Structure 1
Amino acid sequence: MQEYIMAFVIGGLICVIGQLLMDLTPFTPAHVLVLFVVLGGVLSGLGLYQPLVDIAGAGATVPLPGFGHSLVSGTIEEINKTGFWGIFSGAVKASATGITAAIFFGLAVALVFNPKG
C-alpha cells in the first residue's frame, strides 16, 4: 500500500512543479517538457534519479523526467555491455516500448475520434 502512496505523492509533486512552472513563469508546456526530460537525464547520469525510482516506482518513471532517466540509464547500461556502440543503441532500446505504445495509442485514438487539424 505504501508503494501506491509514494507513487501518487512523488508523481503528483512532479506534476505540481510542472504546473507551477507554467503558471508562474513564462515557460510554455514545450519548455517544461524539455526541461523535465533533460533534468531527468542529468539526474540519472549523476546517479540521483534511481533512488527516487526505487522509492516512488511508477510515480517517478511515468512522468517526463522518467523518460530522460530511461534514455540515460539505457545508454549507460548498453555502453557497459557493448562499449562505444552502446551510445547509439542504448537510448533506443531502453525507450522503444514506451515510444511504440505512444504511437500505437495515438493512432488508435485518432482513428476512433475525429481529430481537429
Structure 2
Amino acid sequence: MVYDNDVLLGHEGQLHMHVGNQRYSLLVASHQADFLQATSDRERQWIAQHIVNLVVEENGGQFLVKRGAAMQQGAGVETWEPIPLKKAKETTYSILRQACPDLGILSGATACAI
C-alpha cells in the first residue's frame, strides 16, 4: 500500500504527481545549496542521509519501487516494495549530484537545477 509520505522511485512520468514525491522534491531543493557548498564527500553523504531520515523518521515515509504486476484474484495488481535505506541514500545522493552536474568542476557555482 502506498501512503502520502512515501517516495515512489522509477521512471514513470506520473510519479512526480504523487504528494510524497512532491514533498521529497521540496526537501531535495531545500538542501541543494548545502550540498553545493559542502567541501567534502562526507558532508554531501551526510546531507543525503539527512534527507532520507526526514522522509523515514520524521514523516513515517518509505522509499518504494514497483515490483511488476502481482496476480491477485485473477487481476494484475501493481505492488510497491520498500528499498533498503542505504539504497535510498544512494538514490538521494545521485539526485542531488545530477541536479549539480558541475559540482567539483566549477568553483563559485551558486545554484543547481532540479
On whether the aligned pair clears a TM of 0.5, the verdict is no
Structure possessing the higher relative contact order (Cα contacts under 8 Å, 6 or more residues apart): 2
Whichever structure has more helix as a proportion of its residues is 1
Whichever structure has more strand as a proportion of its residues is 2
- TM-score (norm. length: structure 2): 0.30
